[in-house]
Chain A
Amino acid sequence: MAAPVLALRDVSKSFGATRALSGMTLELWPGEVHAVVGENGAGKSTMIKIMTGVHAPSTGGVEVDGRPVTLSGPREARAKGVSAIYQEPMVFPDLDVAENIFISATDLGLVQRRGLLRERARELIARIGMSLDPDRVASGLTLAEQQAVEIARALSQDVRVLIMDEPTASLSAHEAGELRRIARGLAAEGVAVVYISHRLEEIFEVAHRVTVIRDGSHISTRPIAEVTPERMIAEMVGREVGNYFRKDESHATPEVLLSVRGLGVEDAFEGVSFDIHRGEVLCLAGLIGARRTDVALSLFGIRPATAGRVLWKGQEVRIGSPRAAMALGIAYVSEDRRKLGLALPLSIRSNVTLATLGKVLTRWGLMRERAERAVTQGYRERLNIRMADADTPVGKLSGGNQQKVMLAKWLETNPQLLIFDEPTRGIDVGAKAEVHDLIRQFVRQGGAALVISSDLPEVLALGDRILVMREGRQMGVIPHEAATQEGVMRLATGQDRDAA
């Protein structure tokens, strides 16, 4: 009878050429809170999606009570007692609490009996030790209350495995404590709780066992008492140096290009201060929710800063729009190529000249097509963009080549500060190395680069200095010589805070 309630046996999952999970093994026992930790992109989301039936494993199997099962979808997973709640709760804002809890209930008959519904909702809410009026409309609930609704919804379906994916990332300290109490309470009732969090301190508070995963593989599973934060971080980042080698020394000059003092944007981040010198690469490291992109968006004028000062070449400036940022010489290579970076159905040359249309127009506002083609051809050679011709829609290129077209668009604005947001996410290793070379080359020629990256080896290879953020706060700045993956992770997870 001793079988785990849910188990993954040697599960692998590939999406096209990308391998998200390989040989993942995990056993969940009734009554435990089982924490799963790993870097961004380590494979946690894929693992959840396999446990909840969203994805089928490529190889390997899922077992429930020791028997192999095939989960055809979330509905079947729920029927087997596996539910998940996420950082952003999924509630229907116009329905009340009771209706939300029983949203997928099928045994209530054609006519909902409101009295019964409300009664059962009250019981479920009481079971997790909350007080919440079943008649309240969901749109008026706090995030924490919405999550309670989701947990109650899972309980209404006789949950045996509850997966909590970053449940506390958007909660206040008090609410997060409540949620951890609920997780422990459910475990005490015999539910297996999977707890995924970037906050290491809360893992030590809530979990019975911890599994570390890295690069889609299982690294270790241990009782919490046998783990230290240092060891956990070491396992998360791995021991190997990584695939990237630092190719040259720092080219940072004494000349400060951009200074930021106490920068903040309401409800996003605060107290960010740094200098970027000409010739320097400053990396912004941190985990999801560190609000690094918000820093970039404020420097590019999309969401202008609400606090602090920005000095450009020593002069105080206010960057109120992308046009203002571009006029100074700031460009932002967005993380989201599809939504923010490229007009995918339009031709490569239209995209290359997008931000600098004026340069290829005649006095009468007509396109100088030959000039536009020449510009595009120039970048094709310089950045090694593999394309058939300049009229091809940019959406038909591979991810790496799209990234280069986006880079060409910004290089054409002749920027002095280039902000890169996850410049190599989703592109292959070869293109990655090329993008790294381009960034180094750009600073060698007197530019400065601010690189946001969740890829620690990349951060270590590229950054002359590394600024680490956590939950909207600057945790410290590490010079390249002193930087290690563990050191960055300690700051990013709040284990350390240096004084820099």
Chain B
Amino acid sequence: MTRVLGPWETFLLAVLVLVYAANAWISPQFLTVGNQINLFQLSIEKIIIALVMAFVIINAEIDLSVGSMMGLSACAFATLVEAGTPAALACALCLGIGPAGGFLNGWFVARLGLPSLVVTLATLIGFRGLARILLEDRSIGGFPDWFAALGQRGLIGPVPLGLLSFLVLFALLYVVLEKGGFGRKTYVIGVSRDVAEFAGLDTARHKILIFMASGLVASYAGLLFAARVGAVRGDVGQGFELDIITMALLGGVSIFGGSGTLTGVGLAILIVLSLRNGMSLMNVTGHIQTGVVGLLLIASVLVPRLGARLARRAPA
């Protein structure tokens, strides 16, 4: 927690430099400002949620419902706007759905002691069902211009709201996790909920807060999606949870909880995005891109173990 870069972060940084160098060498467009912003924008919803997913997993839980929550918020927004609600009001209302859903997840997990894998799998289905009920198989668009502009145009210079949100959220969550008391509790509870409970921490409250934050950010991501794409369907965000969890794990967050850093997750996000972007520039299809990310994830689990084994074999 004190060193700037742990061994895993150093490794990720090396990989990232390699990917950037290769991309820049292969494609002259890669390093242009437009492409760099585009690289973030295409996956902006996922990477924003991945930052909070790091908290969830470090806390030794999982939230599979984020993609569905994203879809539900986007669909609720579209339905409200279509019914004549002012878009600003609709945004505010929809930002409330996430924390409410997150509270539901957290309550079942933390107060009733049900496994989060099961609870959030159930709400993954439930939230998605609600989204489908709202929109059925229609697509709703035609949002106000100012809303679409937030999703598509630069807000500060060429930097759009989405990327700006990501950067601000990263800075904020970095401080909370690595420098704050909340982050410390997140690690302790992730290592052992019993130890935390015996030390007098309110672990249930803490877990519920994290699930609520996860819901809030998922809702926000849903609105960003609506603004960026300009139209919403019932399947918005479907399957996103797996990419999101992949980024967190690749970043060195232990699936068993208790360890991982936001720096690592940030680096992993950059690696995944630049790999995909580079392959796109080389006209590699999306399926192969997904396969490469999968290989990377396996490597991320394997490499530290190989390293440990080699270290053991070396003479002391």
Footprint of B on A, CB under 8 Å? 300, 302, 322-323, 325-326, 332, 334, 339-347, 350, 354-355, 357-358, 361, 365-367, 369, 391, 409
Contact = CB atoms under 8 A, between A and B. Distances in A.
A354 B182 CA distance: 12
A343 B192 contact: yes
Nearest to B2: A391
A354 B201 CA distance: 9
A350 B195 contact: no
A342 B191 CA distance: 9
B200 A355 contact: yes
B200 A345 contact: no
6 contacts: A326-B200, A339-B194, A343-B192, A345-B191, A346-B258, A357-B181
Contact of A357 (B184, B195, B198): B184
Interface string B197-224: 1111110000000000000000000000
A322 B187 contact: no
Contacts of A347: 1
B195 A366 contact: no
Given A322-B199, A325-B200, A354-B188, 20 more contacts: A302-B198, A322-B197, A322-B198, A326-B200, A340-B192, A341-B198, A343-B191, A343-B258, A345-B191, A346-B258, A347-B1, A350-B1, A354-B196, A355-B199, A357-B201, A361-B180, A365-B181, A366-B175, A391-B2, A409-B199
Interface string B31-58: 0000000000000000000000000000
B185 interface: yes
B184 A332 contact: no
B305 interface: no
Interface centre among B181, B188, B195 (most CB of A within 10 A): B195
Interface centre among B191, B202, B259 (most CB of A within 10 A): B191
Nearest to A360: B181
A491 B157 CA distance: 82
Given A339-B194, A343-B191, A350-B188, A367 B180 contact: yes
B179 interface: yes
A322 B1 CA distance: 28
Contacts of A344: 191
A340 B192 CA distance: 8
Contact of A361 (B181, B198, B258): B181
Interface residues of B, number: 24
B199 A365 contact: no
Contacts of A357: 181, 184-185, 201
A100 B196 CA distance: 39
Nearest to A357: B181
A345 B197 CA distance: 17
B200 A339 contact: no
A365 B200 CA distance: 18
Contacts of A325: 200
A346 B199 CA distance: 15
A264 B1 CA distance: 44
A103 B1 CA distance: 50
B188 A346 contact: yes
Interface of B: 1-2, 175, 179-182, 184-185, 187-188, 191-192, 194-202, 258-259
A346 to B, nearest CB: 6
B184 A350 contact: yes
Contacts of B182: 365
A91 B187 CA distance: 37
B2 to A, nearest CB: 6
A415 to B, nearest CB: 11
Contacts of A322: 197-200
A468 to B, nearest CB: 26
Contact of B187 (A334, A350, A365): A350
Nearest to A410: B199
A369 B183 CA distance: 13
B198 A366 contact: no
B188 A323 contact: no
Given A322-B197, A367-B179, A346 B187 contact: yes
Nearest to B175: A366
A345 to B, nearest CB: 6
Contacts of A332: 198
Contacts of A350: 1, 184, 187-188
Nearest to B254: A345
Contact of A334 (B175, B198, B259): B198
A365 B180 contact: yes
Contact of A366 (B1, B179, B185, B200): B179
A340 B201 CA distance: 13
Nearest to A389: B2
Contacts of A339: 192, 194-195
Interface centre among B175, B184, B187, B199 (most CB of A within 10 A): B199
A342 B180 contact: no
Please list the 6 inter-chain residue pairs (A to B) with the smallest Cβ-Cβ separation, ordered nearest first.
A355-B199, A343-B191, A361-B181, A354-B199, A322-B200, A326-B200
Contacts of A326: 200
Contacts of A342: 195
Nearest to A353: B184
A291 B199 CA distance: 22
B311 to A, nearest CB: 15
Contacts of A366: 175, 179-181
Interface centre among A340, A343, A391 (most CB of B within 10 A): A343
Nearest to B194: A340
Nearest to B190: A343
A332 B259 CA distance: 26
Contacts of B197: 302, 322
A409 B2 CA distance: 21
Interface centre among B1, B202, B258 (most CB of A within 10 A): B1
A489 B47 CA distance: 64
A34 to B, nearest CB: 40
B200 A323 contact: yes
Nearest to A322: B200
Contacts of B258: 343, 345-346
Contacts of A345: 191, 258-259
Contacts of A340: 192, 194-195, 198
A358 B180 CA distance: 11
A316 to B, nearest CB: 22
A332 B194 CA distance: 13
A479 B302 CA distance: 60
A287 B86 CA distance: 72
Contacts of A346: 187-188, 191, 258
Contacts of A341: 195, 198
Contacts of A409: 199
A191 B38 CA distance: 80
B220 to A, nearest CB: 22
Contacts of A369: 2
